[in-house]
Chain A
Amino acid sequence: MEFGLWQVWEAGWVTAILRGASITILVGVVSMAAGLVIGIACGLIKWARIFPLSLLVDAYTSLVRGVPELLIIYLLFFSSVEFVTKVVTAFGYAGVAESGYAFVIAVIAIGAISGAYSTEVVRGALAAIPNGHIEAARALGLSRGRIFRRIIAPQMLRIAVPGINNVWQTTIKDTALVSVVGLQELMRISFIGANSTRHPFIFYLIAAVVYLIITLVSQAGFDGTERLLRLRTGK
């Protein structure tokens, strides 16, 4: 076996890769959820043009979308590593720092990146809601909270689904970047496997296939959601 497929099977790398894949999905899902919260809040601020805050949101989205993700991860990791290690060791939890810390940094970094893209999606979806709907609701005397819950939010969610799909695909691919700070996700496990067995080709190929499966399955899920939402509105 020139490519080392046998070594991958024999040395128990399969379970390691699966564990890595589950961490990749976990980081992706948690960051995406955080990103959506940021995106909805910032998207609303941008859409409603709440004056001083909207400037901050503009700065945030153009900075994060204009600077490479890797640089942002380096910034967050290097700037906090010393501080956190000191704090955690002072409280006597040095072991926890090693396992949990990279995960937290990963979620903060990927969540911030995903949030910037979600902001644009949410803002676009809000802008696509016909103004007449909101005016009609106001004319009927609905309260502001109810207009948001009944008129704005449902339409926004439906319009935003394709954009959210794009953001999710980017987010799950961006999780590969946090391997550079040592989080043991799919990419990092493949890197370790490639180095210790000296069979990089097969390990990175497996990683590529696993990522492909994740993106294709979630793509199918989003396509289904889109179809479902279209049916319910009768369009």
Chain B
Amino acid sequence: MELIQLAVPVLLKGLGMTAVLTVVSVLIGFNLGLGLALMRLSSNRLLAGFAKYYSNVFRGTPLLVQIFLFYYGLGQLSLIKDNPALWWVVSDGARCAVMALALNTAAYTSEILRGGLMSVPVGLVEAAQACGMSRMLRFRRIEFPLAIRQALPAYGNELILVVKGTSLSSTITVLEITGYAKRLMSQTFAIFEIFAIAGVLYLVINLLLIAIIRSTERVLMRHELLSRDIRSAPNPEGSATVL
């Protein structure tokens, strides 16, 4: 009981850090990933090639290596040291972790969104073209909404991987849930209890994320629900599952 009173507030403090790391890196990573997916699908071979190599390099190396390379490695280069903006990012553990996580999730996100964009039927895009929609409008109204609907279940899994990835920032002195858990484990020797509390926190975050993704999916798929009601067809197996 005493242990729980000691451990829970500390780990909750870590929960805030985990949440901040996740949200900021997902926001940056999603936009980068969208850009990379568009580059990959563009007819410019240079852009497409860059996006492909970027995604292969970041998906082919462990996140831990990326984090260490950015945190310990980049600070050594005079190019980075002399640039105040870059130095601001690299000099702090949390900012560096966000950078590594964002660049890493961007690679996975680009693959997921590329799959979604490729699944958009050509006929729909041609119809939009025939209606005289500009490229921007077409992307905003036709391609992107359809692609994101297709990609959502896979993106939900990627979000969970980001949450789990934030635990690696504890290796570069950032105190989030895992960082505090490790400290508590070596202080109190109540290994199982600390693991259980920290594990529950992670599971709660992930379940919350799954719930958000599912309800977004339901909103995006509402046309299907509607037509199903009209036809009063028997409910087929529920929507795509995450995790």
Contacts and interface: CB of A to CB of B under 8 A. Distances in A.
Query: How many interface residues does chain A have, given as a range?
Result: 35 or more
B178 A68 contact: yes
A66 B60 contact: no
Interface in A50-87: 62-63, 65-71, 74-75, 78-79
Interface string A27-51: 0000000000000000000000000
Contact of B61 (A66, A179, A191, A212): A212
A187 interface: yes
A200 B76 contact: yes
Contacts of A216: 56, 60
Nearest to A62: B243
Contact of A211 (B61, B74, B185): B61
A201 B60 CA distance: 18
Contacts of B57: 208, 212
B191 interface: yes
B166 to A, nearest CB: 8
B243 A65 contact: yes
A20 to B, nearest CB: 12
Contacts of A75: 191-192, 195
Interface stretch (B28-36, B141-149, B196-204): B196-204
A66 B206 contact: yes
A148 interface: no
B160 A70 contact: no
B182 interface: yes
B181 interface: yes
Contacts of B164: 67-69
A67 B202 contact: yes
B192 A201 contact: no
**Majority-rule SS of B interface residues:** helix
Nearest to B67: A204
A187 B74 CA distance: 17
Given A204-B73, A208-B65, A67 B60 contact: no
Contacts of A70: 167-168, 170-171, 178
Contacts of A78: 185-186, 191
Contacts of B198: 67, 71
A68 B162 CA distance: 10
A211 B65 contact: yes
A71 B61 contact: no
Contact of B62 (A65, A180, A187): A187
A212 B202 contact: no
A216 B60 CA distance: 7
24 contacts: A2-B78, A63-B199, A65-B243, A68-B164, A68-B202, A71-B178, A71-B195, A79-B191, A79-B192, A173-B62, A175-B62, A187-B62, A190-B65, A191-B68, A201-B69, A201-B73, A201-B74, A204-B69, A208-B69, A211-B60, A211-B62, A211-B65, A215-B61, A216-B56
Given A71-B202, A215-B60, 7 more contacts: A68-B165, A68-B166, A71-B181, A199-B76, A201-B76, A204-B68, A207-B65
Interface of A: 2, 62-63, 65-71, 74-75, 78-79, 169, 173-177, 179-180, 187, 190-191, 194, 199-205, 207-208, 211-212, 215-216
